[in-house]
Amino acid sequence: MKILIVSQYFWPENFRINDLTAALVERGHQVTVLTGYPNYPDGKIFDEFRANPGGFSQYEGAEVIRVPLLPRGNGALRLMLNYASFVVTGMFIAPFKLRGRKFDRIFVYETSPITVGLPSSVLRRIKRAPVAFWVLDLWPETLRAVGVIKSERVLGWVGKLVTFIYNRCDVILAQSRSFIPAIRRHAGESARVELLPSWAESLFDDAENVSVAPELVPFDGKFKIVFAGNIGEAQDFPAILDAAYALRERTDIQWIIVGDGRNAAWVASEIKTRGLGSTVSMLGRFPLDRMPSFYAGADALLVTLRADEIFAMTIPGKVQSYLAAGKPILGMLDGEGALVIEEAKAGYACGAGNGEALASLACRLADGGATQRDDMGERGRAYYRANFHRDTVIQRLEDMLADLTLKSR
């Protein structure tokens, strides 16, 4: 198949769509990616891209077509302008850049923002190709949950936009079962909605044979709890720091944060204010291909989400990566993410926002012994292979794309 992938984010930004693109090429499909200029998460166009844009026009055998956008910068206004700029260039410049090209299918990768569906709606009409829309973030529910938009009237307008976009998709793919009823509320009961969970990138397939990151060597002899990923509102770092503060006398337990995000400066300030410099460390952001080495050196991997109905519906993508890494998981979250950890018997989970309970579980895991933790890791890896393995999920997607037809409106 000739597949057009539409995603506001793409390599050299670190998102799962990179791995999916490579997998579809490996399976013999001709893949073109429509995306913007890389600027996530720092909010400025990557220096290496500015220096050599042509060096980022091919990825693992896929052609990459980029349209300009306003970088995210700092603040809510700049973020909204970033979203809007990709909509405008995606709707008006992308059709020109893709002129004369035929596509059999259009696949849309929808993390925030939902507005990525507007360029794909235009391209669906122009190219007469059916659209598969992968929902990894529910709008307007997420906007309400994180407090980005507080006006119910504005949220209502966003809901109408979501309905408009969903109605111009031929199949809507939900990352968790809990997403499906929420999607149907906007798309209607007659919409075709299918389950498509995330998976761990292929670089985690050989996690057993990865060397430990040298950045973790200074913490040898300590019980290392590693958080990897975005440092934002949704991850509830106030509660994580509450747990670390409760265990500030446990100098044998080290909390290690690998990543970056909009709340990173606040977290760094709080570590200093709370006097946690000896037990909480921020190592900064690293490329995705370095993550297995950080996981390999961890004694436990931490995943958290704020207490909110929308987050309870979500399985954070890092859960699959953590399971594949074969390490015990500490979770502070509700709903499907916690259920996966418990079903897999791959670690411990407490309710979202409960820093005290997280501290208790950290002690329980640290004091439980290496054999118990190894068993948890192996159970997690087995659960991953049975439920979330890359080849299984991508085969499911490939079958759905092959069966997809352009619906009439």
In terms of pLDDT, which residue wins out, 204 or 276?
A: 276
**So what's the pLDDT on residue 109?**
98
Judge if 22 and 76 occupy the same domain.
yes
Judge if 190 and 210 occupy the same domain.
no
Q: How confident is the model at residue 409 (pLDDT cuts 50, 70, 90)?
A: low
Q: How confident is the model at residue 210 (pLDDT cuts 50, 70, 90)?
A: confident
Judge if 187 and 209 occupy the same domain.
no
The residue-averaged pLDDT of 119-141 equals: 94
Residue whose C-alpha is closest to residue 258's, from 207, 296, 307: 296
Is residue 10 situated within a structural domain? yes
**So what's the pLDDT on residue 408?**
63
The tally of domains found in the chain comes to 2
Judge if 187 and 219 occupy the same domain.
no
Judge if 33 and 65 occupy the same domain.
yes
**So what's the pLDDT on residue 201?**
76
- State residue 366 phi and psi, 5-degree precision: -65, -35
pLDDT in tens, 243-266: 999 999 999 999 999 999 989 999
Q: How confident is the model at residue 7 (pLDDT cuts 50, 70, 90)?
A: very high
3-state secondary structure the chain: CEEEEECCCCCCCCCHHHHHHHHHHHCCCEEEEEEECCCCCCCCCCHHHHHCHHHHCEECCEEEEEECCCCCCCCHHHHHHHHHHHHHHHHHCHHHHCCCCCCCEEEEEECCCHHHHHHHHHHHHHHCCCEEEEECCCCCHHHHHHCCCCCHHHHHHHHHHHHHHHCCCCEEEECCCCHHHHHHHHHCCCCCEEECCCCCCHHHCCHHHCCCCHHHHHHCCCEEEEEECCCCHHHCHHHHHHHHHHCCCCCCEEEEEECCCCCHHHHHHHHHHCCCCCCEEEEECCCHHHHHHHHHCCCEEEEECCCCHHHHCCCCHHHHHHHHHCCCEEEECCHHHHHHHHHHCCEEEECCCCHHHHHHHHHHHHHCCHHHHHHHHHHHHHHHHHHCCHHHHHHHHHHHHHCCCCCCC
**Max Cα-Cα span within the chain:** 66
Is residue 70 situated within a structural domain? yes
Is residue 408 situated within a structural domain? no
Judge if 381 and 393 occupy the same domain.
no
Rounded distance between C-alpha atoms, residue 348 and residue 331, angstroms: 6
pTM for the complete prediction? Answer: 0.78
Task: Please state which of the ranges 215-219, 274-278, 317-321 shows the lowest mean pLDDT.
Answer: 317-321
Whole-number Cα distances in Å, 213 to 217, 220, 279, 296, 325: 7, 11, 18, 8, 14
pLDDT in tens, 44-99: 999 999 999 999 999 999 999 999 999 998 887 898 899 999 999 999 999 999 99
Q: How confident is the model at residue 153 (pLDDT cuts 50, 70, 90)?
A: confident
**So what's the pLDDT on residue 202?**
76
β-strand partners of 58: 63
With 0-12 / 13-18 / 19 or more C-beta atoms within 10 angstroms meaning exposed / middle / buried, residue 328 is: buried
The residue-averaged pLDDT of 135-144 equals: 85
Is residue 265 situated within a structural domain? yes
Q: How confident is the model at residue 344 (pLDDT cuts 50, 70, 90)?
A: very high
Q: Which CATH number fits the domain that encloses residue 366?
A: 3.40.50.2000
Is residue 30 situated within a structural domain? yes
Q: How confident is the model at residue 199 (pLDDT cuts 50, 70, 90)?
A: confident
**So what's the pLDDT on residue 74?**
84
Judge if 344 and 383 occupy the same domain.
yes
The residue-averaged pLDDT of 343-360 equals: 97
Is residue 357 situated within a structural domain? yes
Contact between 242 and 356 (Cβ < 8 Å): yes
User: Residue 258: which domain range?
Assistant: 203-387
Judge if 159 and 31 occupy the same domain.
yes
The dihedral formed by the CA atoms of 361, 363, 368 and 371, expressed in degrees to the nearest 10 = 80
Say yes or no to pLDDT of 281 above 90. yes
Tokens of 241: 């720091």
85-89 contacts, C-beta under 8 A, 24 or more apart = 85/36, 86/8, 86/36, 86/115, 86/116, 86/119, 87/115, 87/118, 87/119, 89/36
**So what's the pLDDT on residue 117?**
96
Judge if 181 and 239 occupy the same domain.
no
Judge if 182 and 290 occupy the same domain.
no
Is residue 409 situated within a structural domain? no
Judge if 181 and 233 occupy the same domain.
no
380 alpha carbon, distance to own chain's centre: 19
Task: Please state which of the ranges 217-226, 271-280, 303-312 shows the lowest mean pLDDT.
Answer: 303-312
Which residues 6+ apart lie within 8 Å of 187 measured at CB? 163, 166, 167, 169, 172, 193
**So what's the pLDDT on residue 183?**
95
Q: How confident is the model at residue 399 (pLDDT cuts 50, 70, 90)?
A: very high
Rounded distance between C-alpha atoms, residue 365 and residue 342, angstroms: 14
Judge if 253 and 383 occupy the same domain.
yes
Percent of the chain with pLDDT over 70: 99
Residue-averaged pLDDT of the chain: 93
Is residue 407 situated within a structural domain? no
Whole-number Cα distances in Å, 74 to 11, 39, 70, 87, 269: 21, 12, 12, 19, 18
